[in-house]
A and B are shown apart, each in its own frame.
Chain A
Amino acid sequence: MPILRSATAVLVAITLSLPAVADNLAIEVKGVRSDKGRVYVAVHKPTENVTFPGAAGMVAGCWRVADGGPLRISFSGLEPGIYAVNAFHDENANGELDTNILGIPLEGYGFANDATGVMGPPSFLDASVEVRETGTTSTQMTLLY
């Protein structure tokens, strides 16, 4: 299940490039089980020929140092529309979501709306939220290990 694996290197750059405008998507990540490593969050747009959560569909992302408690992460400047959100806990701080050779995650991960798939990621729509012209869309997820 490739969630963010190849995309993390560009997360910080994307975050820094966002214009300084008001937050319009707020995500609470719960269930972080330890203070080891970092928690990565990514926001995706539906993208042709990209299967969610493929990195090519990612439009924003960031990481926070894990402190063992819930994290609140906000994004700003997102165009109104439908976005899917996922996160993972890079507990060993190697910059990627570790998986086994079949792609099954070996570190904690989660999706907006606490969407879960069967032996794979949930659909884009199940893990999606709507960002409107005004106001802040809030969502939450609980990481599963």
Chain B
Amino acid sequence: MLDRRQLMWASACQLAALNFPSAVAARSADPSSDGRLLGWASVMADNLDHPALTIEGKLPADLRGVLRRNGPAVHNRHGLRYEHWFDGDGMIQEFRFSDAGISHRGRVLKTPKLKREDAESKRLYSAFGTEISDALPVRMPDDINTANISILDHHGELLALWEGGSASILARDSLEWTGFKSWGHGLEGLPFTAHPKVEADGTVWSLGYTLVGKSILVLYHIDSNGRLVKAVPVPVAPLGMVHDFVVTRSHLVIVLPPFVHEHGQPGTILDNHVWRPELGSRVLVVAKDDFDDRRWVQLPAGFGFHHGNGWEDRDGVIHFDHCVATDPGIVTDSMSQVMRGELVPSPPEHYMRFVLHPDGRGYIEDIAGAAEFPRIADRLTGLRNRYVYMMSGEGDPNWLLPAVSKRDLDRGTMESFSFAPGILPEEHVFVPFPDAQAEDDGWLIGTVLAYERGVSGLTIFDARGISDGPMAYGWLPYPLPLGFHGQFSTT
């Protein structure tokens, strides 16, 4: 590992310099008084169907396909409300674009965990951030796999993604949970990230992590036909949750924030995570063609979930983007307090550019301010991109970002559309036009919660002009819980 003192961080102090109004009072302690909390209400039914969303504006004539999103949805069940946003059982929200308009179906995923609990009419297991007094022991990660973070449609297989355990295989016709995905004998039950990287040719790079019992990162290389090329376990200590990573032409780049799991403390998995800023953030750079070729880079401490893209220039300099905050308050405080009806701020995540030279030099730059849920044109995964799309703006509290934005990374400009009060936008994904030429020839499609009206909807932007606002909205007659990540598929 490189000595931290060898590094020359041109703006290493920026992470620590992010302003945070630490004394902002908790808001909205009474759930009935704040409509935004509808976003964390338990979903109204395990199955939701609506044949035709009400369209406002004009749908693009050539937009065909399916947006599938995932997120925790069953927050309340069997008399218990989970105490962290991450804990609810997953639900797929599927929006199909056809000649008839947009239809919706939502399906709670009946994982083995949820089936066992439903069979006994009680919650059986403590979750990531919820401790249950008489919980069953977790023998293996999939015992508590809620399949609730994201979705991957790859080589004809539809997978619901968690990160602490296996990916789950879904039936494409019914969206039913059918089994845990095994990438090969001896790989059953291995953790698989919610953010695998799929390159333009279909090659998949992925990782997983296990914290309890053993502290191990698992790295995956899967070919375009969905066949495993290699999976390598890498012991790493200390280790904590690793939500996302980037790939470049030649490397996997994995940022390990100093929010590490320390064994043997009482409480939940989250309780066992400790913020150790003195460790700094460690970056593991792994050669794609040889997972044993690994180097470490030491960075200033920061905590983040999501990355933009990563790429590598001809000199081997790695450039990647990461939404980073000064500490993990978003996960330790905000996302648990919201389940108790309190919307409280936390250190904001800013969209930062990281540049790592092969000799260990590097710098970090805040290039887009407060931002989350970055997405790019997926075909540029691992290659230099000009545009990134993300949630941004000044939220209330700060992590409830009110705008959808497009950042031009070459010119350093950004355009945004802020939704009207009463509407909370979620992640928007880039969907290329069928005849796309330019990088931003496409639509930006995502969900919104119009909490004052008590309904959820879809918005469709022309990605070439985000500030013009959505070209169309599609409205459901019911609300959906706020979720996490989605993928657009043509089938």
Which A residues contact B (CB, under 8 angstroms)? Answer: 1, 98-106, 116-120, 144
Contacts and interface: CB of A to CB of B under 8 A. Distances in A.
B214 A102 contact: yes
A117 to B, nearest CB: 7
A102 B233 contact: yes
A117 B190 contact: no
Contacts of B233: 101-102
Complex A-B, nearest 9 residue pairs according to Cβ-Cβ distance, in ascending order: A119-B213, A119-B212, A120-B213, A116-B137, A104-B140, A118-B137, A101-B186, A104-B189, A100-B189
A141 to B, nearest CB: 14
A101 B139 contact: no
Interface string B218-241: 100000000000010100000000
Contact of B212 (A100, A103, A106, A118): A118
B210 interface: yes
Interface of B: 137-141, 186-190, 210, 212-214, 216, 218, 231, 233
Contact of A119 (B138, B187, B218, B231): B138
Given A118-B212, A119-B212, A101 B140 contact: no
A120 B215 CA distance: 13
A85 B140 CA distance: 21
B139 A144 contact: yes
A100 B188 contact: yes
Contacts of B213: 1, 118-120
Given A119-B138, A144-B139, 6 more contacts: A100-B186, A101-B187, A101-B231, A103-B214, A118-B137, A118-B139
B212 A101 contact: no
B480 to A, nearest CB: 33
Contacts of B214: 102-103
A112 to B, nearest CB: 16
A128 B12 CA distance: 55
Contacts of B231: 101
A47 to B, nearest CB: 21
Among A1, A104, A105, A116, max chain B CB count under 10 A is at A104
A99 B233 CA distance: 14
A118 B190 contact: no
B214 to A, nearest CB: 6
A99 B213 CA distance: 15
9 contacts: A99-B186, A100-B188, A100-B190, A101-B187, A101-B190, A101-B231, A118-B138, A119-B212, A120-B213
B255 to A, nearest CB: 22
Nearest to B187: A100
A144 B143 CA distance: 12
Nearest to B212: A119
Nearest to B166: A100
A24 to B, nearest CB: 30
B136 to A, nearest CB: 8
A98 to B, nearest CB: 8
Contacts of B189: 100, 102, 104, 106
A144 B189 CA distance: 15
B139 A116 contact: yes
Contacts of A106: 188-189
Contacts of A116: 137, 139
A7 to B, nearest CB: 19
Contacts of B187: 100-101
Contacts of B186: 98-101
Contacts of B140: 104-105, 119
A15 to B, nearest CB: 28
A94 to B, nearest CB: 11
B87 to A, nearest CB: 18
A6 to B, nearest CB: 16
Contacts of A100: 186-190
Nearest to B210: A102
A98 B185 CA distance: 9
A119 to B, nearest CB: 4
Contacts of A99: 186
Contacts of A118: 137-139, 212-213
A102 B212 CA distance: 11
A120 B212 CA distance: 9
Contacts of A120: 212-213
A106 B180 CA distance: 13
A109 B189 CA distance: 16
B262 to A, nearest CB: 15
B210 to A, nearest CB: 6
Nearest to B140: A104
B187 to A, nearest CB: 6
A117 B136 CA distance: 10
A120 B186 CA distance: 17
Nearest to A106: B188
A117 B186 CA distance: 21
A119 B139 contact: yes
Contacts of A117: 137, 139
A120 B189 CA distance: 14
